[in-house]
């Protein structure tokens, strides 16, 4: 049985406390902002070179769209965008103030979504391993189960976040602003109003809660029954029950994942849409999930807690990291290229804003998520060397954090982004929670799922060209 070491516990608690303090500080300084401070920032930025021209770029296309595009007929004008064109200084300053006020919320939300999504995808990967009757990954089941324990605290925090968002404590979702659906209001947005069958606060909140409930339900069920499997000895009855539950979960997951990404991420840009979006979010979270599994496995193995995990298992995980990094790139490119190629204004604005104001992270993420893993993890020998996988994995995780960052930030804080105290402290906070829940969950159950019918296959799993360093050669 693994012992959750006191050192690690203190470390994780320290992360939580430091993170929480940083978050509190970010919110405090956010609440101190006024229109005056926004004006000051605008004045400072106009000295800089990029911001003004970037916004200008966005406008010109928006206008072109308004005159030639499809929305002129029904008078749907992109309110927020065209408002820029006609605004006076005050409304601009107010807009920037909203963006500044959004920043601590967005920083928290990016980290929250990144950890929630990654944990969820570990759960989905775990379910897929059960359904596929895979023979290699059984000895990693308890690791994956432990990681999914994180879904409970992050779901609770997500619920809190949903509650606060619905209660208008933030401006993260522009369509939730007052008057969006009221034709007499100056905030009225005809495009969003046309989507009110989907974009309405009660519907959004209910759907969000349902997703979280369904995922947590499966996680609770499978963890309980996976442990029951160890001692069941009932002719694989429990095993089959778990198999069926996993099939049902994957079915539900496939649907809820898409809807979740429309609700929680695509809804941040209520005028924009992309059919691929749900699967693109899936890919980014899946790569992160596989990397996290590899990290926790390598750490626990180094502590001697996973006696049956050998280099071939690491190799397989790294292969998955490599393969799905390429898959992510495929989807990223498909979405980007198709929108760039057709250049339909209401879609292009999405990438225009990101390309102009987030150039470095936008392009940097492609390097981190594609070029780096492809070069690093192509070699078969490298894939079984733990420290090599760790190096590759750190870049992959950072790259996919940036991906989530770029999905969220341009919609909420626009040009006012920065990677500073709010972002870092939110990351530390969730990392602390992750470490605490994961390792305490791992210490609570047998590290080897003894009742699984494929355990022997997994324990003796050996990929043909992997030499197991520093291990007995009994199974070669």
Partner 1 sequence: MSHYEASIREPLVLGDKSYHDITEDIAKPIEGKANKNWYIAFYISLAAMLWGFGCIFYTVGTGIGVWGLNKNIGWAWDITNFVWWVGIGHAGTLISAVLLLFRQKWRMAINRSAEAMTIFAVFQAGLFPIIHMGRPWNGYWVMPIPNQFGSLWVNFNSPLLWDVFAISTYLSVSLVFWWTGLLPDFAMIRDRAVKPFQKKIYALLSFGWSGRAKDWQRFEEVSLVLAGLATPLVLSVHTIVSMDFATSINPGWHSTIFPPYFVAGAIFSGFAMVQTLLGIMRKVTNMEDYITRMHIEYMNIVIILTGGIVAVAYATEFFIAWYTGSPYENYTYLSVGAATGPYAWAFYSLLFFNILTPQILWFKKIRRSFIWSFIISIFINIGMWFERFDIIAIVLSKGHLPSTWWRFEPTFVDVGIFIGTIGFFFVLFLLYARTFPVIAQAEVKTILKSSGEFYKKRLAQGIPTKPTIVIAEKKIIEVDSSDKNIKE
- Is the CB of 30 or the CB of 135 nearer to partner 1? 135
Helix (H) or strand (E) holding 265: none
- Is the CB of 416 or the CB of 458 nearer to partner 1? 458
Q: Which residue, 344, 352, 347, 332, is CA-closest to 274? A: 347
Q: How far is the CB of 462 from partner 1 (least distance, A)?
A: 8
Rounded Cα gap, residues 214 and 27, in angstroms: 31
Rounded Cα gap, residues 325 and 372, in angstroms: 10
Which single residue is written with the structure tokens 């959750």? 4
Helix (H) or strand (E) holding 340: helix 311-342
Question: Rounded to the nearest 5°, which phi and psi values hold at 452?
Answer: -75, 130
Q: Which residues contact 360 (CB under 8 A, 6 or more apart)?
A: none
Whether the Cβ atoms of residue 315 and residue 380 lie closer than 8 Å to each other? yes
Whether the Cβ atoms of residue 389 and residue 440 lie closer than 8 Å to each other? no
Rounded Cα gap, residues 123 and 57, in angstroms: 42
Question: Crossing angle, helix 201-232 and helix 151-166, to 10 degrees?
Answer: 170
Q: How far is the CB of 54 from partner 1 (least distance, A)?
A: 24
Classify 419 in phi/psi space as left (phi over 0), alpha (psi -120 to 50) or beta: beta
Q: How far is the CB of 211 from partner 1 (least distance, A)?
A: 15
Question: What distances in angstroms separate CA 249 from CA 17, 153, 159, 312, 373, one per listed residue?
Answer: 35, 20, 21, 28, 30
- Residues lying near partner 1 in the complex (CB under 8 A) are found at 70, 73-74, 76, 133, 135, 191, 194-195, 197-198, 236, 251, 254-255, 258, 262, 273-279, 323, 326, 330-331, 334-335, 337-339, 341-342, 344, 346, 453-454, 456-457, 459-460, 464, 475-476
- Is the CB of 138 or the CB of 154 nearer to partner 1? 138
């Amino acid at each position: 049985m693994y012992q959750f070491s006191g050192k690690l516990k203190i470390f994780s608690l320290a992360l939580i406390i430091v993170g929480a303090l940083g978050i509190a500080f970010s919110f405090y300084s956010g609440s101190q902002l006024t229109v005056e401070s926004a004006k000051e920032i605008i004045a400072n930025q106009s000295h800089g070179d990029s911001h003004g021209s970037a916004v200008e770029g966005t406008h010109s296309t928006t206008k072109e769209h308004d005159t030639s595009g499809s929305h002129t007929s029904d008078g749907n004008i992109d309110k927020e965008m065209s408002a820029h064109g006609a605004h006076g200084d005050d409304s601009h300053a107010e807009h920037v103030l909203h963006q500044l006020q959004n920043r601590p919320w967005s920083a928290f939300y990016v980290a929250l979504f990144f950890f929630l999504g990654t944990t969820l995808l570990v759960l989905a990967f775990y379910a897929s391993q059960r359904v596929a009757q895979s023979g290699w990954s059984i000895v990693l089941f308890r690791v994956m189960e432990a990681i999914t324990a994180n879904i409970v605290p992050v779901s609770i925090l997500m619920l809190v976040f949903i509650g606060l968002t619905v209660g208008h404590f933030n401006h993260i979702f522009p369509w939730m602003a007052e008057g969006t659906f009221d034709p007499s209001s100056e905030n009225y947005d005809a495009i969003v109003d046309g989507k009110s069958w989907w974009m309405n606060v009660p519907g959004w909140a209910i759907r969000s809660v349902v997703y979280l409930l369904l995922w947590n339900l499966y996680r609770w069920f499978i963890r309980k029954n996976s442990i029951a499997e160890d001692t069941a000895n009932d002719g694989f009855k429990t095993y089959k029950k778990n198999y069926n539950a996993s099939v049902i979960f994957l079915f539900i997951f496939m649907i809820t994942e898409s809807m979740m990404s429309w609700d929680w991420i695509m809804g941040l840009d209520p005028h924009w849409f992309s059919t691929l979006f749900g699967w693109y979010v899936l890919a980014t979270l899946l790569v992160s999930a596989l990397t996290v599994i590899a990290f926790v496995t390598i750490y626990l193995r180094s502590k001697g807690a996973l006696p049956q995990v050998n280099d071939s298992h690491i190799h397989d995980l790294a292969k998955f990291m490599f393969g799905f990094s390429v898959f992510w790139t495929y989807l990223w490119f498909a979405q980007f290229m198709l929108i760039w190629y057709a250049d339909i204004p209401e879609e292009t604005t999405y990438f225009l804003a990101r390309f102009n104001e987030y150039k470095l992270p936008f392009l940097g993420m492609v390097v981190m998520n594609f070029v780096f893993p492809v070069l690093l993890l192509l070699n078969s020998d490298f894939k079984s060397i733990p420290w090599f996988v760790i190096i590759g994995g750190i870049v992959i995780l950072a790259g996919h954090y940036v991906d989530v960052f770029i999905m969220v930030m341009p919609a909420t804080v626009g040009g006012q982004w920065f990677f500073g105290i709010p972002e870092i402290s939110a990351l530390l906070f969730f990392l602390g929670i992750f470490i605490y829940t994961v390792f305490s969950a791992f210490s609570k159950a047998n590290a080897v799922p003894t009742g699984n019918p494929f355990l022997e296959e997994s324990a003796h799993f050996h990929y043909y060209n992997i030499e197991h360093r520093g291990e007995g050669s009994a199974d070669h």
